[in-house]
Amino acid sequence: MTPHRLAAACWLLATTLFLAANVGVGSAWRNPRFSWADHNVSDLGNVGCGVWDTTRPRLVCSPWHPAMNATFVAVGVLLALGVLLAHCSAG
Q: 68 near 11, Cβ under 8 Å?
A: no
Whole-prediction pTM: 0.87
Q: How far apart are CA 72 and CA 81, in angstroms?
A: 14
pLDDT value of position 74 = 98
Q: 34 near 24, Cβ under 8 Å?
A: no
pLDDT value of position 91 = 59
Q: pLDDT tens digits for 9-49?
A: 999 999 999 999 999 999 999 888 999 998 999 999 999 99
Position 90 confidence tier, pLDDT thresholds 50, 70, 90: low
Position 1 confidence tier, pLDDT thresholds 50, 70, 90: confident
